[in-house]
Amino acid sequence: MKCKRTLLAPLIMAGVCALAFLHTGATKGSAAAAPRAGTYVGQLEGLIDLIGIDVTQADAKNRRIVRAYLCDGEPGGDARWYSGVMVGNKVRLNSTDGATSLEVKLGHDVATGFVIFGDGSVRGFSASRAIGGAGIYDIELKADGTGQGVSLAGDTFVTTKSSERIANLGDGRPWDVTVTTANGETFNYTYHDFTTFSVEELESYWLPTSYATTGASGIKPDFYTVVWLTGDYRFGFGGLLFGRSGDVKKSQPGTKIWPGGGDPT
């Protein structure tokens, strides 16, 4: 039975709950609305894992290309890539490593479904339409603490790690992130590197203590595939970012992890 600790820190969880509330209300009046292309991001029920799903516009035969990424940011944990073709508004895909399956039903503002793990356990999800630059990104993190990347939707991600201690969590050096969407909107975040948290800090936020196995030395330079979940800016809630190094899309994830979380600025 797959069993992991979920992130239940009040600040982050409030944002996830707010998203669920907002989109539950939004879809009541548009139940018959056609499925909509775009990026959807959510969290598996009862797990820390984030799921990002990118869906293209339908062609003349009502077919859509679907790409999805499941990640928990843990060492040796989930870093599963899915790709295939959706006909209509439903699809079942196997991860490229064959370890899991993904079922997706696409709505107008939400994608729902299940992840089926190799041990037979099933976890549901409800992924909301991406806001605030949320999505699936390929990011290069450099040794000087800067990083940049692009999402499947064409949004850009630029980050810089503070050179001085300015916070009281982890190593006290949060990251500043600027996301610019493909349509020109800009969003700014400050978030924390969970790999620098002590075991006690991780436990206090109900985060996996495995994030501390990097020796509190911080996220390592490399190329990462990342899923980024943001809250709703109108309420000022935070978000989560989980990634793995290596070639995730070809079932060759590396050993380096990138787990983080924080708030809009």
- Per domain, the residue ranges of the chain are 10-28+35-129, 135-264
Residue with tokens 């073709």: 85
Element (H, E) at 25: helix 10-28
pLDDT at 1 (0 to 100): 38
pLDDT at 18 (0 to 100): 39
pLDDT at 16 (0 to 100): 42
pTM: 0.87
Beta partners for residue 110, in sequence order: 128
pLDDT at 248 (0 to 100): 97
pLDDT at 100 (0 to 100): 98
pLDDT at 65 (0 to 100): 98
Low-confidence residues of the chain: pLDDT under 50: 1-31, 216, 232-237
Tokens of 130: 């991406």
CATH 3.40.640.10 fits 10-28+35-129, yes or no: no
pLDDT at 46 (0 to 100): 92
Instruction: State the Cα–Cα distance between residues 166 and 203, nearest whole angstrom.
Output: 22
pLDDT at 237 (0 to 100): 44
pLDDT at 20 (0 to 100): 41
Instruction: State the Cα–Cα distance between residues 129 and 110, nearest whole angstrom.
Output: 6
